[in-house]
Amino acid sequence: MIDPETIQRIKDAVRIEEVVGEFVSLKKRGSNYIACCPFHNEKTPSFVVTPAKNIYKCFGCGKAGDGVRFLMEHEHYSYQEALRYLAKKYNIDIVEGEQTPEQRQKQNERDVLYHVSEFAQKYFADLLYNDEMGRAVGLNYFHGRGMTDEIIKRFGLGYCLDEWRGFTDYARKNGYSDEVLKTSGLTVFTDEGKVYDRFRGRVTFPIFSTSGRVMGFSCRILTKDKDKAKYVNSPDSPIYDKSNTLYGLYQARQAIAKADKCYLVEGNVDVVSMHQSGVENTVASCGTSLTVGQIRLIRRYTKNVTVVYDGDKAGVKATIRATDLLFEEGMHVRMVMFPDDDDPDSYAQKHGSTMLQEYLRDHEENIVLYQLRVMQDDVKNDPIRKAEMLKDIVKTIALVPDLLERSEYVKICASRFGMSEQTLQRELANALYLKAQKEFKASQDKNGQPAVAEPPLSQEDAAAPASAVSAPEQVAVPTVSPQTAALYNMFPDELQENKIIRLLINNGNQVIKQTVKVEGGKTEEHAEYVAAVIVGDIYNDGLTFDNPIYQTIFNAYAQKLQQGTLLDSQFFVDNPDEQIRSTALEMMVEPYTVSDQWEKLHHVSVQHPENHVAEDVENALNIFKLRKIDHKMNDLAQQFKAAGQDEKVLEALLQEKMALLAAKKELCAQIHCVYN
């Protein structure tokens, strides 16, 4: 545990251009540096490093953060590893934070569990080669599956003798307590007083953490006893959580990052076989169906996943179950299905490594198109089943992160099922609305803040230009990408909201002078923080943001002001929510800067934003209010139509319209414009 003061000294010492420059070739441009992004393939540089704010931002893929985040993303370091790397680079002595007795006890318990797990792995691996039964049963099994000694040792495979307490007695002799053996799951202690080795008579597959420590085991029986489970896995413990662990990730992580792709297979043997066949970017879930935690582990290294499951019905169902989870986490998903009687291991044994690699390459298929094909075969001419399956596939398409990819799926789906593309687009728009609503509520709950604004669109409104509807995935600036164009359609006030949030993030802590009316019609100048002016003005008028990401950022500023403090930019740099972090840092980074020599060479006066912040704040708020008035006027127009000849209702609506027109005229006068 590094103490907070040391962490702050490390972050203060970091120069972002020096850290990034060790891994990326940077080119100076004005006060910034640019480069081709190290996180995705591109020919035109869109990766910007801003020394003044000590951050980086890619305007192509959205990656953003500080020096610590860069090392975590690029080198796949943990937070502690990144801090220690930087401490060494800048010659800062690490001061370990003082732990409470309770923390020390927990740390000691974890250390002992790691020690006994590593002790067990060495014991099982030794038996595999140096015990007669180990060689005859365990080693013979691995060799029979085509595994070489090199791959066996690389994965630390072993064998547990078919004895009741062979390992337990050996561990006790070496000083490990029954409590430790029980907690680790290596030994089973029954209520009846029986004690036995959990993995007896099985070959052992140790499960490593990403730093290479043994956390647990997955062990396979070698007999055909139907009364016994084929695999027995370590129970969850303080060091092992199977829902947040992937088998083979320690051995595969570098290959996954290098290939920018991960193969996800069903079992341990498949992982080992794929690695031996040269497909080293392969992992498997640890005795569970695929979980969100496991997907997020993969996402640390790549967003591209190819699911490789068996070709039987169970394999097909497992593949489809995994699809929605992967899409929900922003992954790009493909699949490979083996013939009914094969899996990656059996195919490699029959045909060899080269043909396995060729099969994976030639039979990789888009997961959504695969589902469409399967559905076509299933529904035939049954209109009810056809409608049900189309609803299911549209829900899956709504999870796809890329707007253009979604549009292509809708076209293909409409063509294959003989449906109107417009009908499917409306169904997709409704699904996207529900998805945005769910994400918005989740983001509010996660930050512990009440939902100030509901998602902006009704389902009917969302069904309008459906091909352009998109959840708020990116807010690309300065270029208008298809995703951003879609965002403007989903949130009509995007430009105005963007301007206000930019002012909050970049100038929130700046003091400006505000002219306020006092008694007697006089005015006075008050000094106020920009954040206080914006938050107070918007709250007083009861306004909210259409874009839920902006609303969340606004809420964070409002919450801090209520506590009597101001929000620091580090809140965004360290924010665990990737959308919040990327959006905020994108606003903090200016990809284009005016050269210091421009005014001298061209004799042109350049307007610098920092010189007219007060005016920008006033105009941004007024234009934002004008947009809200326009929306209200449109609503009134619909209410006038619905009112018919009801004079009382018409009179009330007319009074409201006149009040809105007066407010609009006053706002236009304040920003010196004619607003239509």
CB neighbourhood size of 506 (10 A): 19
CB neighbourhood size of 69 (10 A): 19
Burial 381-412 (b: 16+ CB within 10 A, else e): eeeeebeebbeebbbbbbbbbebeebbbbbeb
Q: How many CA atoms lie within 13 A of 454 on its CB side?
A: 5
Q: Say what the pLDDT of residue 372 is.
A: 77
**Which H helix or E strand runs over 615?**
helix 613-643
Closest CA to 57 of 67, 46, 72: 46
Residues 6+ apart with CB under 8 A from 111: none
**CA 548 – CA 451 distance, rounded (Å):** 9
For tokens 């049963």, name the residue. Answer: 137
Q: Is 4-89 assigned to CATH 3.30.70.260?
A: no
pLDDT, block means (10 residues), the chain with 676 residues? 82 89 84 86 85 87 89 82 88 75 77 93 96 95 93 96 95 95 95 93 92 89 84 92 90 85 91 94 84 84 84 62 80 85 84 89 85 71 75 82 78 81 82 71 49 31 29 31 43 76 88 72 77 86 84 88 82 82 83 55 56 80 82 77 72 78 74 49
Q: Say what the pLDDT of residue 405 is.
A: 78
Distances (CA, A) of 253 to 36, 64, 141, 147: 23, 22, 27, 21
Q: Say what the pLDDT of residue 642 is.
A: 74
Q: Are 557 and 580 in contact (CB under 8 A)?
A: no
**CATH fold label, 101-240:** DNA primase DNAg catalytic core, N-terminal domain (3.90.980)
Is 464 exposed, middle or buried (CB count within 10 Å of its CB: 0-12, 13-18, 19+)? middle
Is the pTM higher than 0.85?
no
Is 450 exposed, middle or buried (CB count within 10 Å of its CB: 0-12, 13-18, 19+)? exposed
What's domain 246-363's architecture?
3-Layer(aba) Sandwich (3.40)
Residues 6+ apart with CB under 8 A from 395: 324, 431
Residues 6+ apart with CB under 8 A from 16: 49, 50, 51, 54, 55, 56, 66, 67, 70
CATH 3.40.1360.10 residue ranges for the chain: 246-363
Q: Which two tokens stand for residue 305?
A: 């996943």
CATH 3.90.980.10 residue ranges for the chain: 101-240
Distances (CA, A) of 531 to 242, 432, 497, 557: 45, 32, 14, 7
**CA 514 – CA 532 distance, rounded (Å):** 11
Three-state SS for 629-673 is: HHHHHHHHHHHHHHHCCCHHHHHHHHHHHHHHHHHHHHHHHHCCC
Residues 6+ apart with CB under 8 A from 247: 205, 207, 218, 268, 271, 283, 284, 285, 286
Q: Say what the pLDDT of residue 158 is.
A: 96
**CA 229 – CA 163 distance, rounded (Å):** 17
Q: Say what the pLDDT of residue 287 is.
A: 66
Q: Which two tokens stand for residue 438?
A: 């769910």
CATH 3.90.580.10 residue ranges for the chain: 4-89
Q: Say what the pLDDT of residue 469 is.
A: 27
Q: Say what the pLDDT of residue 593 is.
A: 55
Q: Say what the pLDDT of residue 417 is.
A: 76
Q: Say what the pLDDT of residue 202 is.
A: 95
Main-chain phi, psi angles of 208, to 5 degrees:
-100, 150
Q: Which two tokens stand for residue 30?
A: 């004005």
Closest CA to 152 of 30, 275, 31, 51: 275
